[in-house]
Chains A and B, each alone.
Chain A
Amino acid sequence: MSDPDAVEARHVVKAFGQGEVAVRALDDVSVGIRRGEFFTLLGPSGCGKTTLLRLIAGFEAPSSGAILLDGRDITALPPNRRPINTVFQSYALFPHLTVAENVGFGLRMQGKPRTEIETVTARMLALVRLEALAKRKVAQLSGGQQQRVALARALAPQPRVLLLGEPLSALDLKLRKEMQIELKRLQHETGITFVFVTHDQEEALTMSDRIGVMSAGRILQIGPPREIYTRPANRFVASFIGETNFLPARHAGGRVTLDAGGELTVEGGPEGRVTVAVRPEQVRLVAPDEPGALPATIRDLVYFGTDTHCHLALADGTEVVARLQSSASGDPGLEPGQPAGLRFAPGAVQLLGD
């Protein structure tokens, strides 16, 4: 426990504007990012994730609270005196410099000897596989190549922490997938702490060691991807990451009575008025007359290739989506209008307090 976090934000508040019109972009945010981890700040646009990143980089000063690096307070340090580098969403490569000059820029500003700059630049270009383009001007590169130059440029001074501000959002899907793998590889090879910002939940789930889910200037939940997905802390997290069925209910002593009719048994969770959250892939379709199954009617079937989304209506009309794995023929053997029974996989039901 004596080992301090690589980056820590302590009760950080960032307000823009003054008095009546002041907007709190960050509202008492505290988060510790561990050394060597791939941490993702995930949230919709305007949730404050980019503001938090800019505060860590030093481009903005917090209205109150502190930013710590390896346990040391760096709140008052300007960006050029923080051993933290950023990969910008726009890449922000220097158009008048070559690829190699861009990559070596940080080391040059640090006043490193020429031989060291050349060695490190060559190593970084090899790391992102751009050795052949060292002498090019950056304007002559494709989007993916520019992205890799931006990465090499930010990694070259060997920062304590690398910040990535939605760097993949400008790339097309295929390139983005490639860069996701590339980023993971780079993080593994360099051992540098990565703080990644995205609004893409799939990106966050596949790449991160831990995710901090943000909304309206607050961090709602911090945890590994699996935990965030299977045990969302509240309704926002559950709906923002993946799809979820929300069923209003009442909970008393382990027995949950759905407003739509039917009962479930759960362990723990808040009592009284609750919302039952269950992922579509955890909903099973069984025979309508099976004991304990919730009676429902099939409304619609949507074919997605790997699976089929079955939209059902409970007795009171509440909609539930079940995700069924497609059969070899692709035919689910179901028809709209047909009655069906619903069961939820054991342990897949979660209660969210209202």
Chain B
Amino acid sequence: MEEETKQARTGWLLSAPALAILLLAASGPLLVVLVYSFLVKGQYGGVIWTFSTEAWFEVLFTRDIFSDEVTLADAHLAIFWRSVKLSLMTTAIAFAVGFPTAWFIATRPPNRRALWLFLITIPFWTNLLIRTFAINEVIRNEGILNTLMIRAGLIERPIQILYTDTAVLIGMAYVYLPLMVLPLFAAIDRFDMRLLEAAYDLYASRWQVLRRIILPLVKPGIVAGSILVFVPSLGAYVTPRVLGGGKNMMIGNFIELQFGQGRNWPLGAALSMLLLAIVMVALLIYVRAAGRGTGHG
């Protein structure tokens, strides 16, 4: 018994640094944000230390300035919906591009794979802002894409891609692609290619092999990649700001607005907490799905 208590104490002692970091760096700031969301906004930003649920009310409702009439905050909901929609589409695009890419890399000879993986991750070592402006340069009206298409005679006038949802989607899919490719590669690398022959041998068509054998077996990689792309997409700030312009806001930009020009810190804090909640729900759904797929759940 005494030995066990001693071991337990040593265990706690050893995990103390990790726990300290978790408390100070993760839980602490979250707590601050949570507390701020229940305070009253200061006139020039900041907060007044009075308890209030006004910020949470403002997330969903608007009070008319003159008549005090309460209506649903359509604009807020639209931004949330747009963010979720764009993030889901980003995840889908990243998967559609990332899966063949990861498959290609995983089926190269082992000595070549490292090179391909390195090439995939190169953009990742480059500053996000620079990469986003690079995309901007490609798709703007006088940019490379439009110039080439006009020269080739495909179009007469430049297509407006910049400052649309399409631009945001292209940018986010590009930025987060490595996060999809790497876990997919890991899963496909573990996949026993001999199962393909077994399935073909048992009368499966190419489509059936993909649906019945490959996808179920690389599902952990699909789930991991999707989480890694969806979560940062949902909170994306730089990409929608640079490529989506001022009017195509996502949650990240909207939150920034509250802490900046909006001077409504409690609302920004409440929105942040809501974003966190959505991410948690998404994670929960993913984890459940992953558990079903591999039979460990």
Contacts and interface: CB of A to CB of B under 8 A. Distances in A.
B46 to A, nearest CB: 55
B201 to A, nearest CB: 5
Contact of A57 (B192, B194, B201, B216): B201
A92 B198 contact: yes
B295 A86 contact: no
A57 to B, nearest CB: 6
A165 to B, nearest CB: 10
B195 A94 contact: yes
Contacts of B294: 96
Which residue of A106, A109, A157 has the most chain B CB atoms within 10 A of its CB atom? A109
A201 B155 CA distance: 72
A106 B203 CA distance: 6
A94 B213 CA distance: 7
Contacts of B192: 90, 92
Interface stretch (A4-12, A26-34, A77-85, A254-262): A77-85
A111 to B, nearest CB: 9
A93 B202 CA distance: 11
Interface residues of A, number: 25
Interface in B255-297: 293-295
A153 B200 CA distance: 13
Interface in A62-108: 78-81, 84-86, 88, 90, 92-96, 105-106
Which residue of B202, B213, B217 has the most chain A CB atoms within 10 A of its CB atom? B202
B10 interface: no
Interface in B165-220: 192, 194-195, 197-205, 208, 212-213, 216-217
Nearest to A54: B197
Contacts of B213: 94
A59 interface: yes
Contact of B203 (A93, A110, A137): A110
Contact of A86 (B195, B198, B204, B205): B198
B194 A90 contact: yes
A80 B197 contact: no
B197 A157 contact: no
Given A94-B213, A109-B208, A157 B203 contact: yes
A108 to B, nearest CB: 8
Which residue of B203, B204, B208, B213 has the most chain A CB atoms within 10 A of its CB atom? B203
Interface of B: 192, 194-195, 197-205, 208, 212-213, 216-217, 293-295
Q: Please list the 4 inter-chain residue pairs (A to B) with the smallest Cβ-Cβ separation, ordered nearest first.
A: A106-B202, A92-B198, A109-B203, A79-B200
30 contacts: A57-B197, A58-B201, A59-B197, A78-B200, A79-B197, A79-B200, A80-B203, A85-B201, A86-B197, A88-B198, A92-B192, A92-B195, A92-B197, A92-B198, A94-B198, A95-B217, A96-B216, A96-B293, A96-B294, A96-B295, A105-B199, A105-B202, A106-B203, A109-B203, A109-B208, A109-B212, A137-B295, A153-B202, A157-B202, A157-B203
